[in-house]
Amino acid sequence: MPKKFLLDMYVNRCLRCGGCMAVCKTHNRTPEGVHRIRVITFDEGEPTETNMPMPCLHCNEPPCMYVCPTKAIYKRKEDGIVLVNKDTCIGCGYCLMACPFGAPQFEKGTFGNRGKMDKCTFCVEPYEQKDEQGRLIQREPKPRCAMVCATGHLLAGDADEISAKLRERVGYRMSRGVEKTFLTF
C-alpha cells in the first residue's frame, strides 16, 4: 500500500512551530543545510498568512527517479517510498531540477561538488544509510514529523489511514452542525 504525506488544506492549521523540522533533524541526524521537510510561510503578517510544511510527496511517477543518470533513486515496491542509494548517487543535482517540490537536499557546499543527494525517507533511513558494520539501516515507515505535529496539519500513512482521519475530522464538524464563523472585516 503506497505511503504518502498529506497536508490538511481544508482548514490550514500549521503554526510554524518547527516541530516537524526539528524532530526530523534529531531523528534522522541530517547535517546543516539538509531539510527533509521545511515549513514555508506566505504573506507573513497579512490576513492571508499561510504556513505550509513541504516534505517529499513520494510521487507515483517521481520525476527525480526518471532523470537520475545512475538510477540511484528508486521507489520501494511494497510501500511506494522513494529512496536514494548514496553509493551510486553522483551528486549531479538533476533530481533537484526535476522535482517540482524542492525535495532533494544537498549538504551545505556540496551541491555540484560530488555531494550525495539526501531526501525524506518516510523515516525508514537516517542520513547515514549504513551502520558501522556497513549494513543498511531499515526502520519502520513512521514519519516522526507527522507524529509530533501539534496541530494535526501534517498527515502521513496509507491512503485508507489518511482518508479515515480526514473523514473523522469533517464528520465531526458536520455532526456538531458547526458553521465557520464569518466576520466581515
Partner 1 sequence: MALSAMKMKRRSFLKLAAAAGGAATLGKYFKYSGVELFEPVAAQEGGEKVELIKTICIHCSVGCGILAKVANGQLVDIEPWENHPINRGRLCSKGASIPASINNDRRLKYPMKKEGGKWRKISWEEALTEIANKMLEIREKYGPDAIFFAGSAHVSNEAAYLQRKFMAFWGSNNIDHQARICHSTTVAGLGNTWGYGAQTNNFNDMRHAKSIIFFSNPAEAHPVSFYHIYKAKQRGAVLICADPRFSRTAAQSDLHLQFRPGTDIPLVWGICYELITNGWVDEEFIRLRTHGYEYVKEVILQYPPEVAEEITGVPAEKIKLAAKLLAENRPGTLQYAMGATQHEVGTHNIRAFAILQLLLGNAAKSGGGVNAFRGHDNVQGATDLGVLSNTLPSYYGLSEGAWKHWAKVWGVDYEWLQGRFASKELMQAKGATMSRWRDLVLAEETGDKIGQPTPIKMAIFWGHSTPSQAGTYLVKKALEKLEMLVIVDPYVESAAALPERDDGIILLPACTNWEYPGTVTNSSRQVQWRNKVIDPLYDSKPDVEILIALAHKLGFGEEFTKNFKKLPEDIYDKEIRVGARVIAMRQSTWRLKRQQEYDYVFNIETLRAEGGPCDGEYWGLPWPCWNDEHPGTPILYRNEIPVAEGGHDFRAKWGTKAPDGKTLLSGINGHAELNPDGTPGPGWKLDLTTDYKKLIAANKVPYGRGRARFWAWNLPDPVPVHREPVWTPRPELARKYPTFEDKVYGETHFRIETKGRSIQEQDIFEKEIHKAYPLVFTSGRQVEHQGGGAMTRANPILVELQPDMYVEINPKDANDRGIKDGDVVWVHTYRGYELGHYRSRIQVKAKVTRRVPPGVVFLPFHWAGMFETVEYTQRFPEGTKPIVIGECANTISPPGWAPETQMQTTKSGLCEVTKAGVIPEAIERLAKA
Q: Are 72 and 88 in contact (CB under 8 A)?
A: yes
Which CB sits closer to partner 1, 68 or 120? 120
Residue 10 interacting with partner 1 (CB under 8 A): no
Question: Which element (helix H / strand E) includes 42?
Answer: strand 38-42
Residue 26 interacting with partner 1 (CB under 8 A): yes
Residue 27 interacting with partner 1 (CB under 8 A): yes
Residue 162 interacting with partner 1 (CB under 8 A): yes
Contacts (CB under 8 A) with partner 1, residues 36-65: 44-47, 49, 51
Cell of 150: 501539534
- Euclidean distance between CA atoms 147 and 35, whole angstroms: 17
Question: Which element (helix H / strand E) includes 28?
Answer: helix 19-28
| Residue in 119, 67, 66, 113 with CA at minimum distance from that of residue 90 | 113
Find the shortest distance in angstroms from Cβ 118 to partner 1. 14
Q: Are 4 and 146 in contact (CB under 8 A)?
A: no
Find the shortest distance in angstroms from Cβ 89 to partner 1. 19
Interface positions with partner 1 (CB under 8 A):
11, 13, 15-23, 25-27, 29, 32-33, 44-47, 49, 51, 124, 126, 128, 131-133, 135, 137-140, 142-144, 146-152, 155-157, 161-162, 165, 169, 172-173, 176, 178-179, 181, 183, 185
